Structure 1
C-alpha cells in the first residue's frame, strides 16, 4: 500500500490529533538549541513539566514542617501513596484495593514470588520465556534455589520463534497443559521488551487457572502503553516500573497488583514489613504482624515521598488525557503510520520483528537493519549522532517507541527520513 510520505502529510496528521497539545506538557531534551528526536520512552519517559512544582512543594513542606509533614498539609506524607492509588488502578484495570505503589520492580517480583511460588515435590516448576529480561530470569532462578530445587529441573521455557522471534501463545498454552501437574507458577511479560509483542494475558491466565497454576506478569513495558484489565482477567499478581511509559523519573518507585481474592486474605504467606501492618495499630509498635487486607499488606517500609510526588504528577497528566483509551487510539495510528513509512521508504532494508497487527503490540517497533557489512549497532550510533534517541538491544535490534503523550507524526517522519539517509 502506497502512503503519502511528505512532511506536509505528517504535519496534517498532527494538526488533526486531539492529543497533540500534550507534547507541550513535557520537557523535550535539546542539543545545540534544537529538540532531540526522542523515541526512547520505552526506556525512560520524558519529564512532565508539572513534576518540578509538585516535588518542590514536598521539599518546601519538609523545610517548613519537618517531621510534622507526615501529618499536616493537604497531602501529608503518612498516607501519600494512597493519593496515587485510584489513578494507578485505572491505568492497570484494577480495584483500588488491589494496587499499591511501592519498592522497585524486581523487589516487588521477589515479594510476589514469596507469596505465589510455594513449590512442592510434585509442583515446583516455573514457566518463563527463553528471552526474558535478565532480572526476571535471575529472580526466578534464585527463588527456585532458595526453595532447594535446581533451575535445570524447575524452569519450563517458552521458546521464541526461530524466524519471527515472537512467542507463540498457542505454544505457551500447550506448555501449561503439558506441565499441568508440575507447574507452580507462570511468569511472563505483558509486552515483551525485545520484540514489543503484546501477549494475550487474559487467555494465558485462564488456561493456567484451569490447572490451579498461579499467574504473574511483568508489566514494565505494558503499563501506560496498552490497555490492561488485571482484575477482570483474574491475574493473580503483576509488577511494573513507573519510569518508562509512566514518565516518573529514573529509578522511580514501582507498582504492584494483587488480585482482591488474595489481597483480602490475611493468611497469605509473605515477607512482612511494618508498613504493611494494620494502619490503626501500626504505631503501637507491637511485635506482631496484622496485614492490611489490601495490596498494601505487602508493603515493607514507608516510601520515598519525592519519588511518589513525581509519579503523582505524571498520573495527573494521564488523567487529563482521558486515560489509556484515547492514548491507545493514537498509538495505533502512530505506529501504523510508522510501519507504513518504514515499508515505503526502506523496504527490505529493514525487518520489523514486532507483530504487524495492532492488538499484538504496543507503541514500540523493534527494527533489524539489513545493511550488508555495516553492523546495526553502527547505524544506531549514527542515529544518535544525528540527534535521534532510540535504544539498542543485542544482538541486532534498534527499538523505537513513539509515545502518544509526547511524540508526533512529524517525529516519526523525521526518524524514517534520518534512518533512510544513514542506510542509503
Structure 2
C-alpha cells in the first residue's frame, strides 16, 4: 500500500477508523515503573494476557474447589471432554477441519510424537530436510531422531540454505535439492514462518514438491498460528505443530497444537506412541479393554488434558473466533506495511529490513538490521519503553500484533528509534 502518510495525525486517524482497535483495551499492557504503557512488540515471543483469561481460569478453580473429582462431568465446562471445546476454534485459526486438530503437550514434544508416525526411515530413504536457520529446538529434535534411528546426524540432515549474501530461502534451490536427493529424503520439516527472518513459506508449494518425491511433510507453525492464514488442510501437509503462547496469547509455556491431515485420520497402521486418552472414549474407563484407536488427531493424545492451561487457551480462542483470522490478517498487513513505510524513511544506509517486502510472504514480524549497530541499540530502545527482541548477530525483531498494537504504537516506536540513532 502506497497511501501511508507521515505524522502523528495519520496514526491517530487510522486508529480511530480501525474496527479492531477496541481489542487493545481487552489486554493487559505492561507498564513502566512510572505507570506509562510500554510499546510491546514481542507477541512473536510471548503474547500478552487477555483480561478475560483470569475469569476463565477462575471458573475451573471454582469448580475444582466446589466439585472435586465430580468436575470431570459436572463442571460448567466438564473436564473430561475439555480439549474438544478448543478443536473447532483452533481449526478455524489454522485453516483445518476439527478432526485434524488436537491441543496437547508442548511444541517440541508434539514434534517428536509426530516424527514417531511420519519419520519412518528405510535403508535407502532416511534423510531429513530442514531450513538451514531453523529454530534451534527443531534442529535438535530432528538430529536426535536421526541418532535414535542409528544414523549420523550430520550426514542425515540436509539444510535448505539461502544463497550467498542473502537471508531468504529460494524455492528453486529446494527443487534442486529434491532433484538430486529426493529419493533419499524421508521427511521435510520446515518452520512455516521462519523465526529469524519472518519469511512465510508457501506451505502448499513445499508440500506438493515434497510429495512428488515421496517425502513426508511437516511444518512447525509456532510463528504462524494466529499470525498468518496457514490453510493447513488445503496445504496437504501430513502434519503440523505449533505453540500457543506467542500469537495465541495462552501464557508462558502453555500447551501446543497439533494438526494431522484427515487422510491419516483412520489409518490405524501408522506407527505411534499411545496412551489412555487416544483410546475409544466410550470404553476408556472400562480399564481392561485392548487398545482401541480414536480416529483423527485426537488419536495422538496420551494423557488427560491439563485444564488450567486449556482454560487460558479457550479464553484467547474465543476472542479469535469473535474476530476471525481473516480480519486479523487484513489489519496485520496494513499495520506491518505502515511500520515498513516509516522505517524506510530512515534511509537504506541506516536500516535494512530482511523480512520479505511482499505482504503475502510474511506475517506481522519485521526483522530489522541497523547498519553498524550492536545490542546497545536494543538496550537503548528498551530503556525508551519499547519491548522488542534482539537476535544475534545484529537483528531486532518487532511484531506489531493486530490484536493489541496500534498505529500510534508504531509511530512512537519509530520516533524513539530515530531519536536514539540521532
Q: Equivalent of 2:313, from 311, 316, 327?
A: 311
Distance apart, 1:18 and its partner CA = 1.3
Distance apart, 1:421 and its partner CA = 0.7
1:400 aligns with 2:398: yes
Show the counterpart of 1:410.
408
Q: Equivalent of 2:114, from 89, 112, 115?
A: 112
CA distance in 2, matches of 1:288, 1:119: 28
Conserved? CA contact 1:131–1:160, under 8 Å: no
Cα deviation per residue 1:208-245 (whole Å; 9 max; x = unaligned)? 11122100000000000000111111110000000000
Show the counterpart of 2:342.
341
Show the counterpart of 1:380.
378
- 5 Å matches for 1:24-423? 24-31=25-32, 32-286=34-288, 288-321=290-323, 323-371=324-372, 375-423=373-421
SS at match of 1:177: helix
Cα deviation per residue 1:159-179 (whole Å; 9 max; x = unaligned)? 123323111122112212221
CA distance in 2, matches of 1:245, 1:2: 28
TM-score by length of 1: 0.97
Give the RMSD, CA atoms, in angstroms. 1.2
Distance apart, 1:313 and its partner CA = 0.2
Question: After the TM superposition, which of the residue ranges 347-356 and 183-192 deviates more from structure 2?
Answer: 347-356
Distance apart, 1:2 and its partner CA = 9.1
Distance apart, 1:3 and its partner CA = 5.2
CA distance in 1, matches of 2:225, 2:109: 17
SS at match of 2:390: strand
Cα deviation per residue 1:230-272 (whole Å; 9 max; x = unaligned)? 1111110000000000001000100000001112212210011
TM-score by length of 2: 0.98
5+ residue gaps, structure 2: none
Distance apart, 1:287 and its partner CA = 6.3
Distance apart, 1:280 and its partner CA = 1.0
Distance apart, 1:286 and its partner CA = 2.3
CA distance in 1, matches of 2:142, 2:119: 10
Distance apart, 1:304 and its partner CA = 1.0
Cα deviation per residue 1:70-127 (whole Å; 9 max; x = unaligned)? 1113310000000000000011111110000000000000000010000001000000
SS at match of 2:404: coil
How many residues get paired? 420
CA distance in 2, matches of 1:197, 1:74: 42
CA distance in 2, matches of 1:415, 1:48: 23
Conserved? CA contact 1:276–1:299, under 8 Å: yes
CA distance in 2, matches of 1:159, 1:70: 49
